[in-house]
Amino acid sequence: MNIKKLKSVGIILFFLLGLIGCNKEEDLKISNEEFCLHLNSENMDETMPIINEYLEKLPNNLSDKQKLQQLTGWLKSAPCIIDATILCESCISSMYTPTMSEILITFEENGIIKDFIYDIVMTNPLQATFCHREYEPMQVLVKTKRYFTINEVFDFINSLDFDVEQIYNGVYVSTMPSDSLQYILDCLNAKPYTNNGSDWPRVTGYLHYLTNQITIFPYLLNMKNKAYQEDWRQSMDEYKLIEQFAYDDSGYIIYFRVPEGTEKYWETEFKKYEFVEWAELNYIIHIILD
């Protein structure tokens, strides 16, 4: 074969390799807009085959971290995504399953900002296997400081235009005779703001093993209702219930129900109140059973 033919073969091979390289580049971009067409908070599972198609096309010589970075960058470049972040790398593991990483995406749907997490199994290739909310929508938890009374809690929730799903972590003692414990529990658990049809009692209690003093732990529902608030005050008088703040973690925990998409805003706002010990979203966590 002469030199001219060798040059021609080399040029053809170089051209073919270039085409293959270009096709590879195009392959990594093909699903970006298709991903947006399937992005819907009610059917997030529909986006995972598209993500897995992208992951399958990533070069094998990339490390797992680099693959996660590539995926995150690809998601972030999608026109429907506000942001995409690697929450953790190989942070979820159990004895019987491969480790998992988490990627958080933020997008807008019907004017509401939403956050979802993709669970990425660290196999070869990487694979998206599950998608879930980062936190329960519309819920913000607020813990009041020690000595902040139930009347002050009622004033606090009445000052805001939010429903209150539940209030708990309060501790009360009763000066009624010790044999009144079950009577008190039965009466309180019959209240409309403690009885939601569940077999699990919302108000529990016990007798102190030395003093036989009655201690009550109420779990109050829908307490934005002022009639319920007044009934609880009357119940405190009727059953001689006195608030106790004997422990460092004493204080009430309040579940506020805020408009969807404003959870992070109100988490920050609630922290500004002097009597608030902490405020946080109701985060969804993995439970690994080995």
Q: How confident is the model at residue 2 (pLDDT cuts 50, 70, 90)?
A: low
- 208 belongs to a structural domain: yes
Say what the pLDDT of residue 288 is.
52
12 inside domain: no
Same domain? For 112 and 248 the reply is no
Residue-wise pLDDT for 168-184, tens only, equals 999 999 999 999 999 99
Asked if 61 and 176 sit in the same domain, the reply is no
Neighbours of 89 (CB within 10 A): 16
What's the confidence (pLDDT) of residue 97? 77
User: Does residue 193 share a domain with residue 116?
Assistant: no
Question: Which range marks the domain in which residue 75 is found?
Answer: 24-133
Mean pLDDT of 5-17: 42
Instruction: Tell me the mean pLDDT in the region 113-141.
Output: 95
Q: Which of 282, 252, 256, 284 is nearest to 270 (CA)?
A: 256
Q: Residue 201, Cβ neighbours under 10 Å: how many?
A: 15
Instruction: Examine residue 45 and state whether it is found in any structural domain, yes or no.
Output: yes
290 versus 143: the higher-pLDDT residue is 143
Structure confidence at residue 184 (pLDDT): 97
Report the C-alpha dihedral over residues 94, 89, 133, 157, rounded to 10 degrees: 100
Residue 149 makes CB contacts below 8 A (sequence gap 6+) with 243
| 87 Cβ neighbours under 8 A, 6+ residues apart | 101, 102, 103, 104, 117
Instruction: Identify whether 244 is part of a domain.
Output: yes
Same-domain pairing of 170 and 121: no
What is the pTM for the complete model shown?
0.81
Tell me, what's the pLDDT at 32?
A: 74
List the helix and strand counts (H, then E) for the chain: 8, 13
Same domain for 83 and 144, yes or no, is no
Among the candidates 133, 168, 188, a domain finishes at 133
Alpha-carbon distances, residue 201 vs 198, 204, 217 (angstroms): 7, 7, 11
Same domain, 81 and 166: no
Residue at a domain's end among 107, 133, 159:
133
Residue 16: inside a domain: no
> Looking at the structure, do residues 40 and 123 belong to the same domain, yes or no?
yes
Q: Average pLDDT of the chain?
A: 88
Confidence of residue 22 (pLDDT cuts 50, 70, 90): very low
**Residue 116 and residue 167 in one domain:** no
pLDDT in tens, 28-50: 455 578 899 999 999 999 999 99
Is 289 a member of any domain?
A: no
Q: Are residues 178 and 220 in the same domain?
A: yes
| Residues 79 and 161 placed together within one structural domain of the fold | no
Q: Taking residues 149-172, what's their average pLDDT?
A: 98
Contact assessment for residue 103 and residue 72, using Cβ atoms and an 8 Å cutoff: yes
Instruction: Identify the weakest region by mean pLDDT among 23-37, 50-64, 263-277.
Output: 23-37
How far out from the chain centre does Cα 70 lie?
25
Distances (CA, A) of 6 to 9, 13, 64: 5, 11, 40
> Is residue 14 one of the residues assigned to a domain?
no
How is residue 82 annotated by DSSP?
A: E
Domain end call among 75, 106, 133: 133
- The answer on 229 and 94 residing in a single domain is no
Q: Are residues 45 and 116 in the same domain?
A: yes
With a cut of 90, say whether residue 232 has pLDDT above it: yes
Q: How far apart are the C-alpha atoms of 108 and 36, rounded to whole Å? A: 11
What are the residues facing 206 on neighbouring strands? 215
> Beta-carbon neighbour count of residue 16 at 10 Å?
10
- Establish if 202 belongs to a structural domain: yes
Six token digits for residue 280: 């946080």
If one counts the domains in the chain, the total is 2
Q: What's the rounded Cα separation, in Å, for the pair 13 and 10?
A: 5
pLDDT > 50? residue 241:
yes
74-123 pLDDT tens trace = 999 999 999 999 999 998 887 777 899 999 999 999 999 999 999 999 99
The torsion defined by the Cα of 251, 253, 259 and 264, in degrees rounded to 10, comes to 80
Residue 127 pLDDT exceeds 50: yes
